[in-house]
Structure 1
Amino acid sequence: MTDPQARAIPNRLFFRLFQTGNVLQRQVQKEMGVSTVQWAVLGALSRPGYENGISFNELTEYLIVSRQNLDGVLKRLERDDHVVRIAHPQDGRARLVLMTAQGRAFWESLQPKIDEFYRQALASFGFDDQVSLLHYLNKLNADLAQVEIDPAKATTEPTVD
C-alpha cells in the first residue's frame, strides 16, 4: 500500500479509534467519576459466575490490559473497598480478585448512569447499526491480535493524517 490515497482510509480509521478511546476515557471520568479501566474491572467482576472472584491472570487476559496497569487500578479499587485480592483456594501463590459488597453496591448505583451514558452515546445508532458496529469491532480486534510485522515486508514510508 504505497499509494497515499490508499493509505488515507486506514490511517484515518485508526486515528479515529484513538480519538474515540480518548473521548470515552474523558467522558466516563467526567460523568461517572471512574476510569474506563475501573468501569471494565467492576463490570467483569459483576458478571454471573464470578461471584467468588477471578484470577488476576484471567482478568488481565479478559480485559486485555498489562499486569502493571491492572495492579494499579486494583490498588485504587481496593483503597475504595470495591475489590479485595484473596488467596486462590487451590493455589495459595495465586490471587483471586473479588468484588466486595460495597463494590457491588457501588456498581449497582452506577447502572442508571451507565444506561443513560449508553443511550446518549449511541443516540444516532439504530439497533442494526449497533449490531454491525459490534460485529466489525470484533473482527478488527481479532485481526489486530494476529498482527505480526515481518521486518523484510515492512515499509519505511511515514504515514501522516
Structure 2
Amino acid sequence: MTKFDPSYEESVSSIHNRLFFRLFQAGNTLDRQTTKTLGITTVQWAVLGALSRPQASEGMSFSDLAEYLVVSRQSLDGVMKRLERDGHAHRITDTADRRAKNVVLTEKGRTFWEALQPKIYEFYRQSLEGFRFDDKVSLVYFLNRLNEGMGDVDLEKENVTTRTPGSSRATAHK
C-alpha cells in the first residue's frame, strides 16, 4: 500500500476518524466521571485549578481566563455563575479598567479546591494506572502537538486539498 493508493487514503482517513472519535469519548467520559466522583464539572475543575495557581493568586481577567481555558466567554459566564452561587469564586471590577472584570478564587473556594486534591490525585492515579511514566510524558507531548495542530487549522486558506472519503481524487481550493 503506497500513499498514492486509494486504500492508503481510506486507512489514513479511518485512523483519523477513530482518533478524533476516541478523543470525543475520552472527553465525555471525563465529564461524566468528574461529575460523578468529584461532584463538579470538568469546566468547574479547570476554573478552580486555573485560579488556584500561584500566578493567579490575585485573580485574573475574565477574558484571560476564558482564553487560558480555551472556552467561550458565554460558557465561562455560566460556570462562573455556579461558582459564585456556591461561594467558590467571584468577579470584581478591575481597578485599571472599570469595564473589565477580574475573577478571584474565594477563601471558601481555595479550601474547597484543597479538599478536592486527594480525590483528584486518586482520580489521576486510577485513570493512568496502566501507563508507564514515559507513556504519560509521550501522551502529554502528543496531545500538545494535536492541540497546536488543531489551533492552526484554516480550512479557508489557499491550496487546501480536500478529499471525499473513499475517493482518491483530491480537489485543490484556491
Range class of TM-score, shorter chain: over 0.9
For the Cα contact (< 8 Å) 2:88–2:108, is it kept in 1?
Answer: yes
- Structure 1 residues without counterparts, runs of 5 or longer: none
Q: Does 1:133 align with 2:139?
A: yes
State the alpha-carbon separation in 2 of the partners of residues 108 and 120 from structure 1: 19
2:98 match: 92
- CA shift, 1:51, in A, is 1.2
TM-score normalized by the length of structure 2? 0.87
- CA shift, 1:153, in A, is 3.1
Aligned residue among 7, 11, 22 for 2:17:
11
Letter in 1 for 2:26: T
RMSD: 1.5
- Structure 2 residues without counterparts, runs of 5 or longer: 167-174
Aligned residue among 19, 30, 42 for 1:24:
30
Aligned partner of residue 84 in structure 1, secondary structure: strand
Letter in 2 for 1:123: E
Letter in 1 for 2:139: L
- CA shift, 1:123, in A, is 0.2
- CA shift, 1:44, in A, is 0.0
Aligned residue among 139, 142, 149 for 1:143:
149
- CA shift, 1:105, in A, is 0.4
Structure with greater strand percent: 2
The one-character-per-residue Cα deviations of 1:31-68 (angstroms, maximum 9, x if unpaired) are 00000000000000000121111000000110000010
The one-character-per-residue Cα deviations of 1:66-110 (angstroms, maximum 9, x if unpaired) are 010000000000000000100111111100000000000000010
Letter in 1 for 2:64: E
State the alpha-carbon separation in 2 of the partners of residues 150 and 91 from structure 1: 36
- CA shift, 1:8, in A, is 1.0
Letter in 1 for 2:106: T
Moved more, 6-15 or 78-87: 6-15
State the alpha-carbon separation in 2 of the partners of residues 90 and 23 from structure 1: 41
1:154 match: 162
1:121 match: 127
Aligned partner of residue 148 in structure 1, secondary structure: coil
State the alpha-carbon separation in 1 of the partners of residues 17 and 67 from structure 2: 27
Aligned length: 158
Letter in 1 for 2:99: R
Q: Does 1:81 align with 2:78?
A: no
For the Cα contact (< 8 Å) 2:59–2:103, is it kept in 1?
Answer: yes
TM-score normalized by the length of structure 1? 0.93
- CA shift, 1:156, in A, is 4.4
The one-character-per-residue Cα deviations of 1:100-153 (angstroms, maximum 9, x if unpaired) are 000000000100000100000000011111000000000000010000113863
Matched residues, percent identical? 56
